Amino acid sequence: MFRTLVSSKETNGAVSIFQHPDFDGHEHVLFGHDAATGLKAIVAVHNTACGPGLGGLRMRDYASEDEALRDVLRLSRGMSYKNAMAGLAHGGGKAVIIGDPTTARTPALMRAMGRLVDSLGGRYITAQDSGIRVQDLHALSETTAFVTGLRASRTPDGEPRTGDPSPATAVGVYHGIRACLQQVFGSPDPAGRNIAIQGLGSVGFRLAAALHGAGARLLVADIDAGRTRAVQEAFGARVLPIAEIHAAAADVYAPCALGGAINRDSIQTLQARIVAGAANNQLARPEFGTALHKAGILYAPDYVINAGGVIDVAAQLGDYDPADVERRVVAIGETLGEIFRQATLDDEPPEVVADRLAEARLVRPPPDPGR
């Protein structure tokens, strides 16, 4: 059913994937296919120096297998850095299912995915990402124990949680934006600031609600007209075309959809002083971070600002303490503040400073802060 395409710890054989531009010393890359359910999936484990790889499962109708492979390689690497900077006892891993989640997602497919995850023997622990629901994880958990994000709980203020990491991600991004505003404008207060949000899914919608509640003026865009209409009606947001949101006259541009929002085209017309959002891999290429820095635009490293969700699901693997999770998610703002101060001292892009800190932890596991 499953075959290991790459296992760099276990084989000396040369495989073409080793020359892939997004291959970064990944320990395992596993391709899985199940004819009975139609499962076509890839699991990538990047680095386990800090512990077993932890990262979400994404389901998407990729245009090609190469696009899916590129996505899982980049995302799993990002999870290594994210988990290291969040102080978690986990390395980086990610999984993708190739298929349309609106038509191809079934309990049987998820059980097959669970068997694929289980075949790695605990080297990878999966969780929820785009295209996957908590009920899908419950089906997946029927065939593997290596899954998290299933625990229903309540926040310290009593809000019910289903295990979905989106609320925690949104809280972390909100406090990260506050840290960015403090760095650029001398005050963390979003009141009166124009904030452009690209993508109004589970995280983007919650972020919009939090910013609106703090007095920000919202500009929003999403491929789903129903989502933009809901945010417009609920929060008085101004709706822009998806192709124009990055160029809006805003203080903050918050990419909260797919990666690559900062690319060769968008960077030419970007007006915001700050780029800070929930999306993974916001820089299409590393050099665009340098370009932002030279232009005087503050960039919040994506794997730092969007770590709230993984902090939450990692905590669900132990004795879950909602108050402790909330404290650690809010502290993302403090972590970014420290990165910005060091970047200013060294005159370096913030992501360069963050990478250096993360890479030091990837060879020397951090202490477990709370589990």
76 neighbors 36 (Cβ within 8 angstroms): no
For 204-233, b/e burial (b = at least 16 CB within 10 A) is bbbbbbbbbebebbbbbbbeeeebbebbee
Q: Considering 9, 82, 94, 294, which one is annotated as catalytic?
A: 94
Distance CA 154, CA 325 (A): 11
Planar angle of CA 171, 174, 177, nearest 5 degrees? 150
CB atoms within 10 A of CB 253: 29
- Amino acid at residue number 183: Q
Strand order through the sheet with 53-60: 2-7, 28-34, 39-47, 91-98, 53-60, 124-128
Distance CA 295, CA 177 (A): 19
User: Is 82 considered catalytic here?
Assistant: no
Strand partners, 47: 92
- Is 350 in contact with 301 (CB distance < 8 Å)? yes
- Burial code (b: 16+ CB inside 10 Å, e: under 16) for 121-141 equals eebbbbbbbbbbbbebbebbb
Query: Residues with catalytic annotation?
Result: 94
